[in-house]
């Protein structure tokens, strides 16, 4: 594996099962790793960290991590810390929602157009943070 392939930023959303903002967190992550920054990012399944999967833990310990939490319990952030990783940034869906209260998430299963817009706004913020992390790495490596 080349250095470029192994130098991705991990974007880890909360599981958010049963929570509308958890659905927004996951949707934002997919937008980032599949559309906005597919060459620079990837994800690790949060449940693998919770279960103690060694490969997932090693990736979190050896890569910059950005977490996206859907609620105050901060499960993504706490699980990253719990396995010895360190987040370079943590985003909370509720903070983005507070800036855009007009974007009410419809439901957990169907966030609706407003939920998708909220996820897109959040994804753009996270993508900007990915750019900052990558620029800093280039300065250090260069």
> What is the rounded average pLDDT of the residues 45-67?
96
CATH number for the region 3-141 comes to: 3.40.50
Cα–Cα distance, 132 to 87 (Å, whole number)? 14
Q: How confident is the model over 7-50, as pLDDT tens digits?
A: 899 999 998 777 899 999 999 999 999 999 999 999 999 999 99
Residues near 21 by Cβ (< 8 Å), separated by ≥ 6?
A: 70, 71, 93, 94, 97, 105
> What is the rounded average pLDDT of the residues 124-137?
95
Measured in degrees and rounded to the nearest 5, phi and psi for residue 42 equal -155, 180
Q: How confident is the model over 74-123, as pLDDT tens digits?
A: 999 999 999 999 899 999 999 999 999 999 998 888 889 999 999 999 99
């Amino acid at each position: 594996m080349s250095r470029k392939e192994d130098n991705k930023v991990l974007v880890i959303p909360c599981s958010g099962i049963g929570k509308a903002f958890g659905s927004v967190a996951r949707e934002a992550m997919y937008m980032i790793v599949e559309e906005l920054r597919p060459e620079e990012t990837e994800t690790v399944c949060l449940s693998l960290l919770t279960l103690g999967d060694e490969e997932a833990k090693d990736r979190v310990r050896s890569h910059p991590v950005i977490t996206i939490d859907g609620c105050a319990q901060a499960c993504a952030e706490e699980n990253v810390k719990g396995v010895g990783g360190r987040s370079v940034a943590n985003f909370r869906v509720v903070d983005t929602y507070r800036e855009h209260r007009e974007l009410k998430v419809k439901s957990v299963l169907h966030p609706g157009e407003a939920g998708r817009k909220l996820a897109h706004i959040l994804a753009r913020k996270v993508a900007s943070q990915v750019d900052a992390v990558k620029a800093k790495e280039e300065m250090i490596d260069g």
